[in-house]
Chains A and B, each alone.
Chain A
Amino acid sequence: MSKRIDVNDLNVYYGDFLAVEGVNMVIEARSVTALIGPSGCGKSTFLRTLNRMHEVIPKAYVTGKAVMDGQDLYGPGVDPVEVRRQVGMVFQRPNPFPTMSIADNVLAGVRLNNRRISRSDATDLVERSLTGANLWNEVKDRLDRPGSSLSGGQQQRLCIARAIAVEPQVLLMDEPCSALDPISTLAIEDLIAELKNNYTIVIVTHNMQQAARVSDRTGFFNIAGTGKPGHLIEMDDTTTMFSTPSVKATEDYISGRFG
């Protein structure tokens, strides 16, 4: 249950402002794709176009194509709600629903769109999802406690459990570890390595070591200056990107000379 995404000449606009220009990218199924680049270069904006979350901002729109296993995500009549059920997302800051218990948080996506789920199925799904997010052993005795009672790293894994409970094809992660301590970060990175077996994962990160550790392929975004659109400068296998990148800017960024 994972699909590949082919992005073709994608431009992202906020009103008149061109934020990201001309992205061509292949995101392979069952792999981890990392997007790196300096702040404001449009990598998060681009990530959000893959599940149409950028449309939350008024007047944001996209030209070009993003095709997931033959289906254009921006085709006529495609409902963004359906896209988001297929392409899940984990955010920079852990955001479990504070008014829900841990179990209800996991089931939040499953209960949408008038879907019913029997009590025993729900129990199974909660265990399966939390196990999949490496959180089950830590929370199995307090599933009815509020999600906000967990630590930051646990909350983030709860959010991952919530995202995979709806069994998406693709999982987007927008700097998922930037608000976490090193130990929690390690836990998430281990989890990403496991999730790769079942899901297509795209991760935005500012941490180059993280990109090198977890990803199979890496894309480098850059921006010519403030007010200019962001571009995908280079994309290659992660090992190649971090040893012998073909573009000078990539090498400068990775070696810490700017950004």
Chain B
Amino acid sequence: MAVTDSPPSEPEAPPKVRAGRAPGRLGNRVFQGISTASGIFILVILAAVAIFLLVRAWPAVTAAPSAFEDVGFMLGRDLWSWVWPLLFGTAISSVIALVVAVPLSIGIGLFISHYAPRRLAQGLGYLIDLLAAIPSVIFGLWGIQWLQPLVSPLFTWLSTNPATAWLEENVGPTIFSGYQAPARNILTAGLVLAIMVLPIITATVREVFLQTPRLHEEASLALGATRWEMIRQAVLPFGRSGVISATMLGLGRALGETMAVLMVLSPGYLINFFLLQPGQHQSIAANIASHFPEASGIGVDALIASGLILFVMTFGVNLVARWIIARRAEFSGAN
């Protein structure tokens, strides 16, 4: 409109709605195409992996038990009695990792969100995130070279202390019985896994704790709560489902971790709870990695079948985690 007010010496056409092809339409289309294709691509990849696993595992799943007699690494077992101990080993190493990592992560998350001065908290947050960037083979080396000698005296004590000895004599073997150095057992592997899942759990719980409404924290403090009581009354209940989903995310990572377990653990194919004995357990992922190069024929199919089981397991764990996170979204609006 300013054009009409300007002196007539500057004849300038008022802006019109441009006719013809709309500007930017091509750009819109290209971008829409790229983002849609990316979204579909992810689904295709997921489906391709699932189909590959199903198709390649099928011969092993349907084969007669006798078909596996020639497969050396299966020790003459049929598919299911071979997979069960591996599934057990995967689960127990992950459970150990979570038992250690979850309380530690909650502690670190609370320290960062509610105790540490702001600058220290920020630095510590970055440091924890950096842990996630370390390749797992480095964790494996670290586990062998540094952690194993360090925990060996502790394991020796756990295995030989009077309480364990008394229980062995009067009740039976305990989970700490029969430690043999070096510490290439499931507990060491679980500890290495714990360090590896620490970053993702810590990052998630820290965010959840930071989201605690200030109103609830102040409500608690105004009643005369100490800081720890405020955390128990306002922060932890508010963050409970967040902690659960963080645990699930950590579990998903621990289940699939290969390299660190492969390097640290001396494998075995048994189902028992002797955490300190070598040659008792093995995880599915590490087992695939160690036997795939030498496998042939039905042996390859059997390994892929175990991979399928691991896939279903991690997929299920992640689904549950997502479900809990989604459920929580409804509650956060209720405040």
Contact = CB atoms under 8 A, between A and B. Distances in A.
A54 to B, nearest CB: 11
A98 interface: yes
A163 interface: yes
B329 interface: no
B70 interface: no
> Main SS of the interface on chain A?
loop
A97 B216 contact: yes
A40 B61 CA distance: 73
A131 interface: no
Contacts of B221: 53, 56, 84
Interface stretch (A85-93, A137-145, A199-207, A238-246): A85-93
Contacts of A81: 224-226
Interface string A56-89: 1010000000000000000000000110110011
A112 interface: yes
B37 interface: no
B64 interface: no
Contacts of B334: 98, 148
A108 interface: yes
Contacts, number: 71
Given A99-B237, A148-B335, A159 B219 contact: yes
Given A53-B222, A81-B224, A97 B233 contact: yes
Interface residues of A, number: 27
A91 to B, nearest CB: 7
Nearest to B238: A99
Q: Give the one of B118, B213, B220 with max A CB within 10 A.
A: B220
A148 to B, nearest CB: 6
A209 interface: no
Given A98-B334, A99-B238, A148-B335, A109 B224 contact: yes
B218 interface: yes
Contact of A95 (B118, B219, B237, B240): B219
A164 to B, nearest CB: 11
A88 B233 contact: no
A49 interface: no
B223 A112 contact: yes
A3 interface: no
Contacts of B213: 95
A91 B217 CA distance: 12
A84 B223 contact: yes
B223 A91 contact: no
Interface of A: 51, 53, 56, 58, 81-82, 84-85, 88-89, 91, 93, 95-100, 108-109, 112-113, 148, 159, 162-163, 166
19 contacts: A56-B221, A81-B226, A88-B223, A89-B222, A91-B215, A95-B213, A95-B216, A95-B218, A98-B238, A98-B335, A99-B238, A100-B237, A108-B223, A109-B225, A113-B229, A148-B335, A159-B219, A162-B223, A163-B223
Given A81-B225, A109-B224, 17 more contacts: A56-B217, A82-B224, A84-B224, A88-B222, A95-B215, A97-B216, A97-B220, A97-B234, A98-B238, A98-B334, A99-B237, A99-B240, A100-B237, A108-B233, A109-B223, A109-B225, A112-B224
